[in-house]
Amino acid sequence: MTSTVSAPVARTADGSALQAVLLDMDGTLVDTEGFWWDVEVDVFGELGHRLDESWRDIVVGGPMTRSAAFLIESTGAAITVADLSVLLNERFEARIADRVPLMPGAERLLAELARHNVPTALVSASHRRVIDRVLRSLGPERFALSVAGDEVPRTKPHPDPYLLAARVLGAHPSRCAVIEDTATGVAAAEAAGCRVVAVPSVGLIAPAPGRTVVRSLEDVDLPFLRSLITAVN
């Protein structure tokens, strides 16, 4: 289940329309998108199959079931989606061990949001067991809420995870700033009606109405996020 809310949503002191910041995990806050691909390559190698590098852009950022089904269909591997999902999660957990590398700017941004009491949620397509392990590196106290891919009927690219996070935080989706690194995550956030900041990790993401693309989290701070929400409300 999702975690409980630790702080109420309130209008910021400068009158900004920003009510909450919702962040993706893999590739956005932690440098793990490459870890997932390495694990997938290793597992399918053991099954006697070689993954095409071009498939990486297809599976990145998506729910485990979708990625697993695609790779099984593409390779013809003799394994079920359920068994592959368990195997990939176990291998990934072993790979990250006790700590994971944070993306540049992640530590500073999370500290800034916490310092200003901005309601913040972690919204990921990864399973709860993986999220809880990664939270050890991110600091669970920095998030009022976390939503895992196996806790919603439909995960990314559907809007459900972001709609759930906004609802629990008591925020309107249009007053939420979402930070994502993949086209799948961006699609989910935009379908929910949120203002999106894209920080591409794998593949290109083009600017679009309601979407801002930046080079890294080092280009993102609280005044920047507040200005984006104010500009569209």
The average pLDDT across 122-130 equals: 92
Per-residue model confidence (pLDDT) at position 108: 97
Q: What are the backbone angles phi and psi of residue 90, rounded to the nearest 5°?
A: -65, -45
Query: In the structure, what pLDDT confidence band is assigned to residue 202 with cuts at 50, 70 and 90?
Result: confident
Average pLDDT of every residue of the chain:
88
Determine the Cα–Cα distance for residues 227 and 80; give it in Å rounded to an integer: 47
Query: In the structure, what pLDDT confidence band is assigned to residue 98 with cuts at 50, 70 and 90?
Result: low
Cα 174 to Cα 89, 162, 191, 198, distances in angstroms: 33, 11, 11, 16
Per-residue model confidence (pLDDT) at position 5: 38
Contact 209, 178 (CB under 8 A): no
Determine the Cα–Cα distance for residues 62 and 158; give it in Å rounded to an integer: 10
Determine the Cα–Cα distance for residues 75 and 12; give it in Å rounded to an integer: 51
Per-residue model confidence (pLDDT) at position 7: 39
User: Pick the residue with more confidence: 11 or 83?
Assistant: 83
Determine the Cα–Cα distance for residues 172 and 41; give it in Å rounded to an integer: 40
- Checking if the pLDDT of 228 tops 50, the result is yes
Q: Mind listing the pLDDT tens digit for each residue in 33-53?
A: 778 888 899 999 999 999 998
Determine the Cα–Cα distance for residues 92 and 131; give it in Å rounded to an integer: 11
- Checking if the pLDDT of 12 tops 90, the result is no
Share of the chain above pLDDT 70, in %: 91
The average pLDDT across 93-121 equals: 91
Q: What are the backbone angles phi and psi of residue 166, rounded to the nearest 5°?
A: -65, -45
User: Pick the residue with more confidence: 180 or 34?
Assistant: 180
Query: In the structure, what pLDDT confidence band is assigned to residue 57 with cuts at 50, 70 and 90?
Result: confident
Q: What are the backbone angles phi and psi of residue 23, rounded to the nearest 5°?
A: -120, 135
pTM of the complete model: 0.79
Q: Mind listing the pLDDT tens digit for each residue in 110-120?
A: 999 999 999 99
| Strand order, beta sheet including 20-23 | 145-147, 120-123, 20-23, 176-180, 195-198, 211-213
